[in-house]
Structure 1
Amino acid sequence: MVELIAGRFGRSEPRRRVGTYLRGLLAGLERKNGWTLAEHAGAVSPDGMQRLLRTAEWDVDGVRDDLRGYVIDELGDEASGVFVVDETGFIKKGVRSAGVQRQYTGTTGKIDNCQLGVFLAYASNRGRALIDRELYLPTSWTEDRDRCAAAGVPGEVGFATKPQLGLAMLARARDAGLLSSRSWVSADEAYGQNPTFRTWLAERGIPFVLATRNDDMLTSPDGKSRQAKVLATIAGARDPDTGQAGWERRSVGAGAHGERVYDWTAVALDTTGMPAGWGHWLLVRRQTEPAEGKQVRELAFYRCAAPAATPLRELVRVAGARWAIEECFQTAKNEAGLDHYQVRSFRAWHAHITLAMLAAAYLAATRAREAEKGDPQPVAVH
């Protein structure tokens, strides 16, 4: 891995240090912070590790770019690849870590004192890994430039919404030639509800499957606007001529509790603003049976756009791929120390997160190579 990123270091000392840092992230340590990584490397203090993250001269964003290219080289598959945007939380104490405040995080499912990182992942049939990251800075930070300066936030960094941060990462992937009209993008409703996010993708001819809410107002080809849940009722009704319901039962792959099987249907939407020859749909997912203690089967909704001939099974596949980023977060936190850092500055956050992503990507690529050789054993890193 160090050879992959060696060109991003002008001096040998930080280049050697990053090698020990990565080896520590890959080691079986219970915690992977400055102290434990230093001890693993045989150092008497964490000063060198902290200096690597905070002030050492190396190109953090250049390493990010190398990581992104490495993942696509190792796991890329044009037929199944999906780029997924989502955020995760990092629980913190105090008020000095860049971007920290009391805010909702799906990590705990409640409002906590935390930092939020917005991430881009790549998932294919060969594997999945995180490939880009941005630290979310709330307005409580960006409107207090003294506080930003104390945490090392560059003066040119202002407020950006999570969808804007997601688009910045997608734009970098596109500029690198990795995101195109042959790619798919998926994200949850925070992004699917954002018109700018959808428009950016449509204007560049990038197909998408984005979650949305049941009360999203959508326009049908006849020009009428209805809520998503109303359109779902219409789409799932029995055809008066054939007597067939408009649902198809399909699996989106194995989950933590077995095969994830749902009923699916899609209803056409107005194609205004879509590229020529494209379709625009509301995709609806329904539980096959009500959850325990419930009387009604839960629905989930997705806004989709792609070439008009795209079959339902492909929209379903991409909708199912969105959960890969949750697996990426879990793997990177549990196996590569993504959330084990003890740094406060803007630059140090990006430096640690990038290196942890690189370590997790190495594990994903190694697993993929072993799977291709037919080795069922998990990767062991010492």
Structure 2
Amino acid sequence: MELAEEFGRYLDHISEGLGRSERKTGLRHYCHGLMLPLKRKSMEPLAAAIDPEHVPARHQSLQHFMTDSPWSDEGVLSRVQSWVLPKMQPGRKGWVFLIADDTGIPKAGSHSVGVARQYCGQLGKTDNCQVAVSLSIATAGASLPIKYRLYLPESWTDDRSRCDAADVPEDVVFRTKPQISLAQIKEAKAAGLPGDVVAGDAGYGDDTDYREGITGLGLLYVLGIKPGTSVWAPGSGPLPPKPWSGRGTKPTRLRRDEAHQPVTVKALAMALPPSAYRKLTWREGTNTKLASRFAAVRVRAAHRDYLGDVPRDEEWLLIEWPKGEPEPTKYFLSTLPADISRKELVAAAKIRWRIERDYQELKQEFGLNNFEGRNWRGFHHHATLCIAAYGFVLGARLTHGDDIKKNAVIGAPPALPENYTPRGARSTSASCGRLDSDAALGHCSRARATSDTLPVLRKGSAAGILP
């Protein structure tokens, strides 16, 4: 009963500020349902599990709370953060990471808000899906999503009538995923949330404006980049502006010539001597310790630097080249300190595995990808309460031990009445034409594929290369 009582106090805590009592009741019911061991967690199965004697009425009340009621997602997430974050301890370096990521949710049809043919990480290919951009706070021992925002492709933002049908706010315009992510980071810093280092994959790190925006906020970063990203090799750089002749406008822009050209990170990696790469073991995998080979060199990013008047600062290029592979598989740029060890640099680069694990659990255990409404508000309300339910379990693990499962908080769902028939099975008085078409205990949708495990680091020095 201890965890159940603690969960009740938690729901009281996160529902503060919702105002009307029916909103607090709606939050409690929805979060309670998300904690139950149901195969599917869209609204009708939740209603059937929460109130099996009055499924249509409970379904309609949940539908109003989720898709119509204008309660604040940011307000609820802020209450979740105030409960969980004090339990998360920074790592040995004292760094708190902000992890930028996005996740795809497969969808059929064309009416659910934001749905389009685009890359879906859950499926590992381009398909019909929704994509949401998130920001998580991570430490050495845990991570928690703190921001979650639907990405709208231009096929949506260019069609105002389509947006109106899905209740997309009028001030929502097209923004790239890095632009959405950078705005989330700015909001997090403005709210006083912790964060020292931004981590993300090449979808974010390959955007020069994104990296420079992070630096402009006074944050460090360790970000994936693509093999074709251009840099200046160690010891090289752009030429200074042309000497001024004393007449006309004084030249201010950096230059390149045939002898002074940047290289791609792949070309640089392939040209390094074998001694530049060192095998590192990071964490325990399922059956064995995980290891790979890494090189780290000091470079300057070169993208369009000829438009500036001073070279960019040096930063780390981290290269992963697993043994047996014909070429390197991963590249990262990082503004972490020049005296950092290679082991610590790899650990920072590989912190992203935490959010992959979070998404796996959010989808498999808390129904993140089960929402079947079509509008903007409902999509975000559902994600907020999934994160809220997950946040409680995370906090309980940090307090009581890693073996805490959500089923230890809430027991089995109550039995359905004998005359209950979920929508889509056959027409009865228990069904309601306005409600979504899930069976109450429908099939479990595919969860996000388990992410590849990721590396960590070790001390050394040298001019431009970490030993």
- TM-score (structure 2 length as normaliser): 0.73
Pick aligned residue for 1:24 from 28, 33, 43: 33
Higher strand share: 1
Given candidates 179, 200, 206, the residue that maps to 1:187 is: 200
CA distance in 1, matches of 2:111, 2:103: 19
Q: What is the identity, as a one-letter code, of the residue corresponding to 1:222?
A: S
Change (3 A) 1:174 1:112: same
CA 1:90/1:141 → structure 2, altered by over 3 Å: closer, same or farther? same
Are 2:396 and 2:404, in contact at CA under 8 Å, matched by a contact in 1? no
Q: How far, CA to CA, are the matches of 1:369 and 1:314 in structure 2?
A: 27
Deviation at 1:170, TM superposition (A): 0.9
Deviations 1:107-153 (A, max 9, x none): 10122111101111222222122221010000011011111011000
Find the partner of 2:55 among 25, 35, 44. 44
Shift of 1:345: 0.4
- Alignment match, 2:414: none
Q: Which residue of 1 aligns with 2:445?
A: none
Partner letter of residue 309 of structure 1?
Answer: D
Task: Answer whether contact 1:31 1:337 (CA < 8 A) is retained.
Answer: yes
**Aligned match of 1:63 in 65, 76, 93?**
76
1:75 is matched with 88
**1:73 to partner: Cα distance:** 2.0
State the match for 2:215 in structure 1: 202
Equivalent residue, structure 2, for 1:338: 368
Distance 1:85 1:99 in 2: 20
Contact 1:261 1:288 in 2 (8 A): no
What is the alpha-carbon distance in structure 2 between the residues aligned to residue 282 and residue 111 of structure 1?
A: 30
Structure 2 residue identity aligned to 1:341:
F
Look up the equivalent residue of 1:15 and give its one-letter code.
K
Give the corresponding residue for 1:162: 177
Stretch moving more, 123-132 or 146-155 = 123-132
Give the structure 2 partner of residue 173 of structure 1. Answer: 188
Alignment deviations for residues 208-257 of structure 1 (CA, whole Å, 9 cap, x no partner): 1111111211123411411101221344x15xxxxxx1222223323456
Closer, same or farther: CA 72–376 of 1 in aligned 2, 3 Å: closer
Matched, 1:149 2:164: yes
1:305 aligns with 2:335: yes
Q: Which 10-residue stretch deviates more, 186-195 or 71-80?
A: 71-80
**1:269 maps to what in 2?**
299
* 2:236 aligned to which of 222, 227, 236: 222
Whole-Å separation in 2 of the counterparts to 1:212 and 1:255:
25
Quote the residue 2:256 is aligned against: none
**Deviations along 1:58-114, whole A, 9 cap, x unmatched?**
222211222334342222426253211111111112211111111121110122111
Partners in 2 of 1:144 and 1:84 — Cα distance?
31
Matched with 2:346 is 316
What CA distance in whole angstroms lies between the structure 2 residues aligned with 1:80 and 1:9?
Answer: 33
Shift of 1:278: 7.1
Which residue pairs with 1:281 in the alignment?
Answer: 316
Alpha-carbon distance in 1 for matches of 2:292, 2:330: 10
The residue type paired with residue 65 of structure 2 is L
CA shift at 1:318, angstroms? 1.0
How far apart in 2 are the matches of 1:179 and 1:370? 23
Distance 1:132 1:77 in 2: 20
Alpha carbons of 1:324 and 1:85: their partners in 2 closer, same or farther (altered >3 Å)?
same
- 1:125 aligned residue: 140
- Separation (CA, whole Å) in 1 of partners of 2:323 and 2:396: 36
Q: Secondary structure at the match of 1:326?
A: helix
**CA–CA distance in 2 between the matches of 1:298 and 1:232?**
7
Matched, 1:212 2:243: no
- Matching residue's letter, 2:66: L
The equivalent residue for 1:293 is: none
Letter of the 2:373 counterpart = V
Give the superposed CA RMSD.
2.2
For residues 187-228 of structure 1, the C-alpha deviation after alignment (integer angstroms, 9 at most, x for no partner) is 110101101110011122211111111121112341141110
Return the offset for 1:2.
1.6
Aligned sequence identity (%): 31
2:409 is matched by which residue type in structure 1? Answer: V
Higher relative contact order (CA 8 A, sep 6+): 2
Matched residue, 1:95: 110
- Call closer, same or farther: CA 1:116–1:150 in 2, change over 3 Å: same
CA distance in 2, matches of 1:13, 1:377: 30
Instruction: Give the structure 1 partner of residue 19 of structure 2.
Output: 10
CA distance in 2, matches of 1:256, 1:325: 18
Structure of larger gyration radius = 2
- Report the alpha carbon displacement of residue 376 of structure 1 after superposing the two structures with TM: 4.7
Structure 1 pair 358/84, CA: closer, same or farther in 2 (3 Å)? Answer: same
* TM-aligned CA distance change 1:257 to 1:215, over 3 Å: farther
1:191 alignment partner AA: Y
Does 2:244 match 1:233? Answer: no
Deviates most, 41-50 or 145-154: 41-50
Counterpart of 2:217, as a letter, is: R
Q: What is the letter of the counterpart of residue 263 of structure 2?
A: R
Query: What amino acid is the match of 1:226?
Result: V
Between the aligned partners of 2:203 and 2:72, the Cα distance in structure 1 is: 31
Give the Cα–Cα distance (whole angstroms) in 2 for the partners of residues 50 and 169 of structure 1: 28
| Alpha-carbon spacing, 1:139–1:85, altered in 2? closer, same or farther (3 Å) | same
Name stretches of at least 5 consecutive residues in structure 2 with no aligned partner: 1-9, 238-260, 411-467
- AA paired with 1:103? Q
